[in-house]
Copies of this chain bind each other. A is one copy, B any other.
Amino acid sequence: MGNPKHDGSSHMFPCEHCQVRGHTMCAALHGDHLAALEKMRVGNRTVPAGTDLFRQGEINKEVFTLLEGWVMLYTLLEDGRRQINEFCLPGAAFGFEVERDSPAPYTAQAVTDVRLCVLPGPSLVEFLKQEPVMLLELARTCGRSRILDFQHLMNLGRRTARERVASLLLELFVRVRMRSPDVHGDTINLPLTQEHIGDALGLTNIHVNRVLRGLREDEIVTLKSHRLEILDPDKLAEEAGFDSEVYVPYLTHQ
């Protein structure tokens, strides 16, 4: 776990060339407006897996946009129980301070090595007031995330362990695939441990393991050395109780 590498000269990464801009609220900006945002940037940052971007209970004033890699947002109880609230994929933004000067109620930690774009929160808020279209996109994105949260509440509250695992794997498969529409096939990289999966689904890593074995034996999915392969998409969707009609639209951007 090394130190973050910081790129001071932010003009080295012009927003014009940003690989994920189309998936972010920045997509709304062009020309001078985009240039103004670019001037505001703290810069890009690269951190190794395991790094905390900010911690539960501490004040955070930076807004991050994930360029590459996976980040997770989680909450801890005092005795160490962990709930992973969200897995962030490239294009996702996080770190907005919704309540001024309040400590962050969750931790953001890099799951893999990660590359981020960093903006100063307070300046961004001022900027957004001048750019209602971008602000609207932020609000929409937040709304979409809440729909995903609802899906996860359903997972935790009312689904069996097997349904939860199926649902999460399918969700992640769809989300990863939607970011790279030109790639096809039934396999993706999934840089999570079984403990990550358990902490997102309210299960122990041990039980996740047993469920994964079941899904493998039934030839629905396999998960081996961070590769997720979907053997039977229809059966998986059925196991997950995943209503594609309703939920896929909300997985697109995020």
Contacts and interface: CB of A to CB of B under 8 A. Distances in A.
A106 B150 contact: yes
Given A139-B135, A241-B78, A99 B153 contact: no
A146 interface: yes
A123 interface: no
A85 B129 contact: no
Contacts of A145: 146
Given A96-B143, A98-B147, A85 B153 contact: yes
Is chain A's interface secondary structure helix, strand, loop, or mixed overall?
Answer: helix
Given A96-B143, A98-B144, A246 B105 contact: yes
Contacts of A128: 132, 136
Interface of A: 56-57, 73, 75, 77-78, 81-83, 85, 96, 98-99, 102-103, 105-106, 125, 128-133, 135-136, 138-140, 142-147, 149-154, 156-159, 199-202, 241, 245-247, 249-250
9 contacts: A78-B241, A81-B159, A83-B153, A83-B157, A85-B153, A98-B146, A103-B245, A105-B246, A139-B142
